[in-house]
Amino acid sequence: MGKRITVPFGSQHVALPEPVRFVFQTENEKIVDVEVDVGYVHRGIEKACATKFKYMQVGYVVARVCGLCAISHTLGYVTALERLMGVEVPKRALYLRLLVSELDRIHSHLLAMGHTAEVAGYENLFMQTFRHRELVMEMLELLTGNRVQFDFACPGGVNRDLTPEVEKVLREKLKVLEEKALWLRDVYENDFSLALRWKGTGVVTEEMAKEMNVVGPPARAAGLKTDVRAEFDYLPFKEVGYRMVVLKGGSIYERNLVRALEVLNSIEMCWNILDGLPEGDIKVPVKGLPEGEMFVRIEAPRGELFYYIRGSKKLILDRVRIRVPTFANIPVMKELFVGMDYADVPATVISFDPCLSCTAR
């Protein structure tokens, strides 16, 4: 031992559902150097949004940037468009968007948590987490009509209303989900082997988080108080009982705990939304042509999502710029790996919940 081994991690790897490529130089399994290649899934969506699709269609295209946070991308785009064109969205539509976006966050967080357990070799916990995640998928399917790509939000409102029958089933399922989420939180917090493995592994300190502009659950796990839901009013989060979850520590363990706690908060918000859902229209027509520029920040499950759009009174926008959370977290991941054990790499990568199809677009 002691000789340098080059370990490629990705682009095809069983621990990764998506292609990112890290090339590690290791000595005794300690990483001394790392290169990262994120471009495997670059498709050119930004270009297509500014040349091929009309501004009313772009919302459905950007949803295909990422299947995990599809609603966030659509929300980012439609919020920017509505603000640009001065459209007043009905309250009921906002609440429905909020409901779907929180359910989406739950499913994405559960996916990330389960996946981290899987790459830590804890297959049973992965299975249990995914089993409870199916509840959310069923709820989303009931609500929007599809499991993954919902296309729920559209410029001016939402595409599908919540009927009383669906609401009844949602409440039943939400109750079951709440129990399970509490149980999961308990496991992720107190399981001995997880704590042994993850506490103090892959630590992002608060200074590091600030310096490297970390976003999302990794930042909040490091103690950095940043959440776009509190910093940007794109949906009425204040009214439905949003709380910011901030922990100290910044290791894989805390990142997962932040997710588990946020899932609980999201469930609470879903209850409040269902209880206080206002009556009214779900959609207003959007007329006219976009002119000028607008940018919004959205809290996607992985962190801050930034949309910049610019139009010049044409059916096709001039520029759509998407800055996704993983894109902002790649630099800190690269810093983090140097000096780490190779055995900890998969769990660290997954604990950032990287979404490469977002990153490369």
Partner 1 sequence: MSYWTAFILTLFSPVIGGFIYGLERIVRARMQGRVGPPLLQPFYDFFKLMDKRSIIIHSFHAFMGIMYLIGTWFALFVLLSGGDLLIAIFFHVLSLAFLVVGGFSVRSPYSVIGAMRELLHMVAYEPLYVLSAAALYLVTGTFQVSGILHSKHVPLIYLPLFFTAVLFSLPAILKKSPFDTAEAHQEIIGGPEIEYSGKFYEAVYTAKWIEYVYAFFFIFLFAGGNHILGALLIIFAFFFFNLLDNVTARVNFRQMVAFHWYILIPLAVINLMLIALWRS
Partner 2 sequence: MVVDEIKVPLREVRRTIKEFYDPKEWHFITVNGVDLGGKVELKWFFTKYGEREYFKVVTSEASYDDEIPTITYLIPSAWISEWELADLFGLNVEGAKRGLFLDPESPQAPLRRG
Partner 3 sequence: MDFKKFRKRSPWILHYNTGSCNGCDIEILACLAPKYDVERFGILNRGNPKQSDILLVTGPVTKRAKERLLRLYFEMPEPKVVVAVGACACSGGVFRHMYNVENGVDKVIPVDVYVPGCAARPEAIIDGIVRALEILKEKGKEVELPHWCSAQVKPPVNRVKLLDRCLEELHGRR
Contacts with partner 1 by CB under 8 A lie at: 1, 5-8, 13-15, 26, 29, 117-125, 127-128, 131, 191, 193-194, 196-198, 341-346
Distance from C-alpha of 309 to C-alpha of 321, rounded to nearest angstrom = 6
Q: 252: how many CB neighbours lie within 10 A of its CB?
A: 27
Phi/psi at 321 (nearest 5 deg)? -115, 130
DSSP structural state of residue 354? -
> Which amino acid, one-letter code, is at 187?
V
**Applying CB under 8 A, which of residues 42, 168, 171, 175 lies at the interface with partner 3?**
42
Q: Tell me, by CB under 8 A, how many residues bind partner 2.
A: 36
Residues 6+ apart with CB under 8 A from 246: 220, 223, 224, 225, 258
Shortest Å distance, C-beta 294 to partner 3: 24
Applying the rule CB under 8 A, the residues between 164 and 223 that interact with partner 2 are 210-213
Q: Is 130 in the site for partner 3 (CB under 8 A)?
A: yes
Residue 196 binds which one of partner 1, partner 3, partner 2, none, with CB within 5 to 8 A depending on kind?
partner 1
Cα angle value 262/208/25 (rounded, 5°): 105
Residue 52 interacting with partner 3 (CB under 8 A): yes
User: Interface with partner 2 includes 232 (CB under 8 A)?
Assistant: yes
User: What is the residue type of 239?
Assistant: E
- Beta carbons within 8 Å of 230's beta carbon, 6+ residues apart: 237, 242, 244
Residue 360 lies near partner 2 (rule: CB under 8 A): yes
In angstroms, the CA 257 to CA 261 distance is 6
Which residues from 59-98 bind partner 2, rule CB under 8 A?
83
Within positions 143 to 202, which residues make up the interface with partner 3, using CB under 8 A? 146-149
Instruction: Verify binding: residue 345, partner 2, rule CB under 8 A.
Output: no
Decide: helix, strand or coil at residue 25. Answer: strand
Place of tokens 């592994």: 201
Q: Any bridge partners for residue 312, and if so which? A: 291
In the structure encoding, which two tokens stand for residue 316, read together? Answer: 């096709």
Rank residues 196 and 315 by Cβ distance to partner 1 and give the closer one.
196
Told to check if 136 binds partner 3 by CB under 8 A, we report: no
The site partner of 18 among partner 1, partner 2, partner 3, none (C-beta below 5 to 8 Å per kind) is: partner 3
Nearer to partner 3 by Cβ, of 249 and 354: the residue is 354
d(CA 211, CA 208): 5
Picked from partner 2, partner 1, partner 3, none, the partner binding residue 331 (CB below 5 to 8 A depending on kind) is partner 2
Site string for partner 3, 63-102 (x = CB under 8 A): -xxxxx-x--------------------------------
As a whole number of angstroms, the distance between CA 135 and CA 196 comes to 30
The footprint of partner 2 (CB under 8 A) covers 38-39, 42, 44, 46-47, 50, 83, 210-213, 224-226, 230-233, 295, 297, 304, 306, 308, 310, 318-319, 321, 323, 327-328, 330-332, 335, 360
